[in-house]
Structure 1
Amino acid sequence: MATASRHLCRTLLRTLSQPTARRPCQSIPRQRIQPPPFRQLSSIPVRRAEVKGETAEADSKAEAETERDDGISADFNENELQTPAQPYTVADLDADERAHYETLSKDDQNQYMAVQNHVKAIMESEEVQTIAEDQARVAARQIERTGINPNFLEERNLQALKDGYWQEDEDDEFGVVPDDDDEFSEDLITSVAESQLEVHREVREYTRIAAWELPGLLQFTKPFDLPDMKKSPLRFRYTTYMGETHPAQKRVVLEFTTKEVAAAAGLSEAQRIKLVKLIGVRYNPDKDLAKMSCEQFENQAQNKRYLGDLVQKLVTQAKDKTDMFEDVPLDFRHHKPKKIVPFPEAWKVGSEQAVKRLAEGRGSIGLLEEGQRPVNGREMVEEYVRSKSIQPAFGAGF
C-alpha cells in the first residue's frame, strides 16, 4: 500500500500542479536522484569515490539520502502539506506499511505520516471529488446505453474461472474445487458435429459449382466418340474420393486385350502368344484380358507412366525373335472359370404358347380346376393401376 499510495500521490500532485479556478494547489518539490555508476559484467563491488574533506559519516548520510525513495526532498516544508479532517495514525497502517515504517528513522517516520495524510487530504478535496463524480456519470451513461455493467461481467468471469464450468449447480461443497478446465462457451459444438458441418460445407460448395459454373461449360461440349482400340488399346482406371486424402487414390489399374495390342503394335500370332506367356497370371483367357495395377509412387501420373513403360517393355520382348518360348506351354491354372448356368428358354413365361403349356401342365396334376386360367401377375398389376388411375413412372409396362 505504501508504494501504491506514493504512486497515487505523485500522479495527483502532477495533475493538480497547475492552479485551478477554484483553489490553487501547490506541488511538493521532488528531488531527482542520479543512480550510481554500475558495470553489468563486473565482479568488483560498487564503491563511492573518495572526496577529500568528507568523513565516513557524511558518506553514510549521502547513501541514506540516495537510497531513500519517499518522493519528498530533504528541505521540504511541512507547512505546504495538507492535513485531512481525520489524520492517519500508526495504528491505521497494515503489516507491510508498518514494517516499512519501522525501518525509517524518526524524522523519516514523521515525513512518511505527513505524506500519507497529505494524500488523504487530496483525495478528500473538491477537485478529486469532482473527477470521481464525472467518472461515475460516464459509467452510468455506459450502463444505460449498453445495459451491461462491466464490473458485473468481471465478477462473473472470475467466479466461472474459480469454480469451473463443470461445477456449476454443485450441491456438494467438497465437490467445488478450483480446476484448470478450458473456457467453455455454450455456443460451441463437438468435434463430431464439426466434421459433419465440414461435410455439409463441401456439399454446398460443389452444389454452387454445379449451379453457377457448369452451365457456362455447355458451349464447350463435344459429342462422345468411342476411342479407336487399334490406336489406343490401353484402358486406365483411376479412383478419386472427392477431395479427401486416401491412400488408395494413387492406385492406377490398366486393362488391355492381347489381340488389340497385337493389332496396334503389329505382332504376329506367335508373338502374341509369347506376350501372353510373359504376362503370366495377370491374363484372363476367357476374356483375353490382361489386368495389372501400380501404386508404388505417390502420384497417379507416375503410376500411369510406369504401367505404360511396362507394356512397352512387354511388347519389345514379344518382338524379340531370339527366343520365342516355344518350349514353354501356356499355363492357365491360375484362372478359375465361373460356371454360368443359362436360364431355360422353356421356363420363360412371355408368350401365349408358354401360358397354355403351363396351364396344361398344372391341369394334368390337378392344381387348376377345369376352365380356370393360371394367374398372370403382370395383368393383375396393370388392371390395378388402371382402376386406381395411377400413371406408372416408367411407362405402362412392367
Structure 2
Amino acid sequence: MHFQKSGTRQIKSLLSRQAVRSYSKKENEVPLYLNPHAWKGLPADRIYELHNLKKNDLGDKYNPSDEERNAILSTFQSLGVNKPPLEYVYEIDNFKERYMNNTPSKLRGLPPKRSNVRVVSEGATPHEQRRAEELHRISAYEMPLLAKLRQPYQPTPDTESPITLSFKSSFPDEKNNSNKVYLMCDIKDLKLDDKQERKLKILAGNRFNFNTNKIHFTCDKFNEITQNSRWLVDTFNRLLAEAKDLSDDFSDIPLDDRSAKPKNSAPAYPKEWLRPEDAPIARHNVVQKLVDDVKRKKDVKYISKYSP
C-alpha cells in the first residue's frame, strides 16, 4: 500500500514537471514576426506581412533593428519583372528615409524627394510656389493644345446690350478674388425721350452720375458672381420699365443734381481783386550778379583754349 502511494506520487511529480517544461517552452516561444533574424530567405510578400504585423503589434514602441533592415532591404532584387503591389513598393522605397538614424525626426515619413520638385516640410510659401510652377507647366504644355480650337473673329452685331457687367478676378491668386459685380449703362444708349430720361434720373438717385451721364450699380450680396449679375440685370430692367411708364411722369418732383461737380474745380480769381501796387519790390542782389559774371568769364576763358 505504501509502495503504491509513493509510486503515484512519483508519477504525479513527473507529469507536473513535464507539464511545466512544456508550458515554459510554449511561454518562451516568440512569434516569427518578432524574430527578424529568421526572416532572411523568405519571400518578399511574407517579409512585408511580418513587418506590418510587428508594426501593428508594437505601435508607438516600434523601432526596427538591423536584422529587420537587412531582411527588408534584401528583397530589392526580387522586385524584378513581376511587379508587386504599389503599396509594397512605396513601403520599401521609403523605409530608409523614415527609419534611418541620419534622418531628422521631423522629416521622417515624408514622401521622397524626386525629380526637380522641391519638397519643403512646412509653411505656406512652398504651396504657393508649387501652384505657380503648376500654372507654368499648364501654360507651357497644355495651353498650346488650344490652338486646334481656334475660330475666326466674328464682330458683335449692332444689337449689343447697352449695359456693361464687370468683375475683378485673379487667375493665379484665387483667394483675393471678389464676388462683387459692377453694372454701368450710358443713358444715351437707351434711346429714351426727355420725360423718360428725366424720370430715370430721378429713380436712379445718387447712382446716376451727372458728369458722365451714366448709371452705376454694384452688388455683392450673393456668394457667386452669376447670382450678383442676375440680380443687377433684373433690378435694372425693372427700373427701366418703370421709367418708360409715363402714367406718372414725376413732373412735380425736382431733379436733384447736387452730386454734379463743376468742370473747373478751382474758382477763377476776380480781376477786380488784383492790386499790383501791393506786389513786393524786386531787390537788387549785387553779390549774385558778381558771382554770375565771374562764372561767365571763366567759362569763356576755358572754352577759348579748345576753340579753333
Give TM-score, length-normalised by structure 2.
Answer: 0.49
Which has more helix, going by share of residues? 2
Higher RCO, Cα 8 Å, sep 6+? 2
Larger Rg: 1
Give TM-score, length-normalised by structure 1.
Answer: 0.40
